[in-house]
Structure 1
Amino acid sequence: MKKTYNKIVLAYSGGLDTSVLIPWLKENYHCEVIAVSGNVGQGSELDGLEEKALKTGASKLYIEDLTDEFVDDYIIPTMQAGAAYEGYLLGTSFARPLIAKRIVEIAKKEGADAICHGCTGKGNDQVRFELAIQAFAPEIDIIAPWRFWELNSREKEIEYAKAHNIPLKITAETNYSKDKNLWHLSHEGLDLEDPANEAPLEKEGFLEMGVSPMQAPDTPTNVTIHFEKGVPTMVDGVAMNCTEVIKKLNEVGGANGCGILDLVENRLVGMKSRGVYETPGGTVLYKAHEKLEEITLDKETQHYKAQLAMKFADLVYNGQWYTPLRKAMSAFVKSTQEAVTGDVTLKLYKGNILPVSVTSPFSLYSAGMATFDEDDCYDQSDSAGFIHLYGLPLKVRAIKAKEEPDLPGVE
């Protein structure tokens, strides 16, 4: 027996899953359905969304502009951490908690009994949505139809949509599962489900944020990014906010075939899944930030931060954005960015991102120290004592091994 509700708030994107959910919820729960869409930079995907939601049975649609908050409070802190999950720059992962938080706010405002999402029981997004909902509204019920409904395949969803006159932008032949925001676009399903199949990067209409490296220009493009305390503030000398920086880098990176990742990743729920990700601007931005940190962070901080980056990525990927640990790690990362100020120039060429130059008023690099020429700031004879002390444990062990041939651990 299904529970009864007076009002359900639906996380609504207008894609296949959520398009069929409005009439399905009304048929099965006989209650008011309010749709909520988070604008995180998906552009034209929001066109006509209100008309579609209302025509299919929603009493109203909220379209919440979350783009700047998404960039400033989620993308930039993750980029500063250098976090990447198995190479994936976490585009969908950090958008879901933000959208879910806003949905909870609207659900409370509307006095809703439940929140519904269209995530499948095999994916990561169900975890990301529900952990965020639990963090802000543990008292609200969560409805996840993919775990129990009869429309248990995308083909059945398409048939249901046709029967209910729900307009779709896809067909069974173009039915990739996609998620788009300002930072990235993901592609899953259809022929991509078999890792033996080459991704159709050069097929017209497959890539949306750029071109394949094979179709990129034969001449390289240089781009210069300025950072202030780890925050990008200019591109090629033009001052921009972070949202504008990403838009600009998407344009130039996409045009040069940068930021395409074909990955078989380890999902949180235990299976491996193949996806193709487009993150042109993000990939360029990560590279530039990494190059600037190379000359502005000391060795111990740089190395420890690299270890933290992997755990940070796990937390974001696994939907644990609103945990004390993630917040504490972000506080550490922010403290490391005090000196990450300067300019980085990169050369973009057919998918490659090559460093050209990096400068900073806080650079720790000393040409005098590193030179192969004669210098008066480094006494090379000091290295003998350093190596003697550094290797002392090995030397002592070797001596003991001669005295005690059966000493454990000696080859």
Structure 2
Amino acid sequence: MEKIKKVVLAYSGGLDTSVILAWIKENYGAEVIAFTADVGQGEEVEEAKQKALATGASKAYALDLREEFVRDFVFPVIRAAAVYENQYLMGTSIARPLIARELVRIAREEGADAIAHGATGKGNDQVRFELTAYALQPDIKVIAPWREWSFKGRTDLINYAKEKGIPVPVTPERPYSIDANLFHISYEGGVLEDPWVAPPKGMWRLTRDPEDAPDVPEEIEIEFEAGNPVAVNGQRMGPLELLQCLNQIAGKHGVGRVDIVENRFVGMKSRGCYETPGGTLLHIAHRAVESITLDREVMHLRDQLIPQYAEMVYNGFWYAPERIALQKFMDDIQQRVSGVARLKLYKGNAYVTGRKSDASLYDHKTVTFEEDEVYNQADAGGFIRLQALRLRTHAAKRLGPGE
């Protein structure tokens, strides 16, 4: 093993990272500092801190990053209207660069030689953690035990934990893995690895089963300023409070579930189930306000760039110059995206019933089917003839004389 004296470990408190903590101490002979980021996963954060110390960490950090997560990672993605492969709002993708950034910061402050994580060698998270780390500190050393040790699976980890006196979590066995934060919960692996098998009943945590959702629809209004959500039903809120509020409202109506097969950056297809209740409402409402405030060509240009932006974020290039440059473009055109969208929520669905803005480009006098004095319908004839000129020329050549 390379000589390393001190390591900062991204620590969740679960079996994997608890074993990793002990394994690094044993195999590298290094001091391990545990870091747990609170991005909205619940009470387990403080529990993880105590468990890390009990498992042998020399120091344990547990930092509340929830407000920052929503403000600086969720909201920029909402402003960019970003969706990966048309369905995934990337809740895991945007949490990893924040966690990795703090890992690097703590390592620098503590004078650590390396950082470590518990991501497997098959997933996207290893890429996201490490690309972020290298972008922020190019000479950082990274320990990724799943790419180094000889353990093959959960049974090996349990046996090692018992051998080393590491408490093995006594929790109900789930036939899938879970990763949670304020923006979403992801479910992968186990029975979900078969894309034909339906998600187990009772799996979803943030959203009520649409069949059990209220029989009466609910309408809500979401207000935006320069592309950022600032109020729900007229009540202004900070980023964290606003997302928590929308999670509760959308979850009650079963809004925000997706079941997809996505293409991982490392090359394989993977089945994932995600629930993003509040984020789904934000995405729909934001697009509604954009529809009346953005110029057509600006919107179309931005929409062409969404797949590229989403891939950058999904693949772990949050701190890459291309993502930063593209974010500046996205944010620049958002300066006029201010207004209110009204949504109706019912049985797992959320749809727009109204939108308004002081910056609206929607001109009722022009669009009306009634009599107006601002649009000469006869002008459309010349417009169509000009648009058709190349088509008529092409047709004449193709059909030939007399056709």
Alignment of 1:4-403 (within 5 A): 4-86=3-85, 87-163=87-163, 164-168=165-169, 170-171=171-172, 173-174=173-174, 176-200=176-200, 202-203=201-202, 206-403=203-400
Give the 3-state SS of the residue equivalent to 1:93 in structure 2.
Answer: helix
The C-alpha deviation readout for 1:75-104, integer Å capped at 9, x for no partner, is 111111011112110111011111111110
- Name the SS for the 1:373 alignment partner: coil
Q: Rate the CA distance shift 1:281–1:299 in 2: closer, same or farther, 3 A.
A: same
Letter in 1 for 2:43: S
Paired with 1:45 and 1:376, the residues of 2 have a C-alpha distance of 65
The CA deviation at 1:61 is: 0.7
Q: What is the distance in 2 between the residues matched to 1:329 and 1:169? A: 46
CA distance, structure 2, for counterparts of residue 152 and residue 333 of structure 1: 44
SS at match of 2:352: strand
Q: Displacement of 1:376 after TM fit?
A: 1.8
- Tell me, what secondary structure is at the counterpart of 2:220? strand
Counterpart residue identity of residue 353, structure 1: A
Aligned partner of residue 207 in structure 1, secondary structure: coil
Cα distance, 1:183 vs. partner?
A: 0.4
Distance (whole Å) between structure 1 residues aligned to residue 390 and residue 176 of structure 2: 58
Q: What one-letter code is carried by the residue in structure 1 that aligns with 2:387?
A: Y
Query: 1:341: Cα distance to partner?
Result: 0.9
CA contact (8 A) 2:13 2:47 kept: no
Q: 1:257 to 1:310 in 2, by over 3 A?
A: same
Return the alpha-carbon distance in structure 1 between the equivalents of residues 209 and 151 of structure 2. 35
Distance (whole Å) between structure 1 residues aligned to residue 70 and residue 227 of structure 2: 14
Output one character per residue of 1:15-69: Cα deviation in whole Å (capped at 9) or x when no partner. Answer: 3321221111112122211011111122222141221111111111111222222
Q: 2:82–2:306: 8 Å Cα contact kept in structure 1?
A: yes
Distance 2:103 2:175 in 1: 27
Aligned residue type for 1:77: P
Give the drift of 1:170: 3.5
Percent identity of the aligned residues?
50
| TM-score, reference length from structure 2 | 0.96
Q: Specify the code of the residue in structure 2 equivalent to 1:142.
A: V
CA-based RMSD of the aligned residues comes to 1.5
1:210-262, Cα deviation, whole Å (9 max, x unpaired): 21212211111111111111111111111101111111000001111010111
Q: Which of 62-71 and 33-42 deviates more?
A: 62-71
Shift of 1:402: 3.9
The residue type paired with residue 97 of structure 2 is P
Contact 2:184/2:277 (8 A) holds in 1: yes
Letter in 1 for 2:13: G
Shift of 1:162: 4.0
Asked whether the 8 Å contact 1:39–1:64 carries over to 2, the reply is yes
Deviation of the 1:387 alpha carbon: 0.4
Instruction: Note if contact 1:39-1:65 (Cα within 8 Å) is conserved in structure 2.
Output: yes
CA pair 67-404 structure 1, distance change in 2 beyond 3 A: farther
- Give the partner amino acid of 1:165: I
For residues 112 and 394 of structure 1, what CA distance do their matches in structure 2 show?
67
TM-score (norm 1): 0.94
CA 175–141 in structure 1, closer or farther in 2 if over 3 Å, else same: farther
Paired with 2:162 and 2:251, the residues of 1 have a C-alpha distance of 35
Deviations 1:272-320 (A, max 9, x none): 1111111000001100001100111111011111111111100000000
Aligned mates of 1:278, 1:157 — CA distance in 2: 29
Contact 2:34/2:49 (<8 A) preserved: no
Q: Report if the CA contact (8 A) 1:20-1:166 is conserved.
A: no
Partners of 1:175 and 1:159 in 2: CA distance: 20
TM superposition shift of 1:379: 0.9
- Distance in 2 (CA, whole Å) between partners of 1:404 and 1:55 is 89
Which residue number corresponds to residue 408 of structure 1? none
List alignment gaps of at least 5 residues for structure 1.
406-411
Following the alignment from structure 1 to structure 2, what is the Cα–Cα distance between the partners of residues 207 and 152? 29
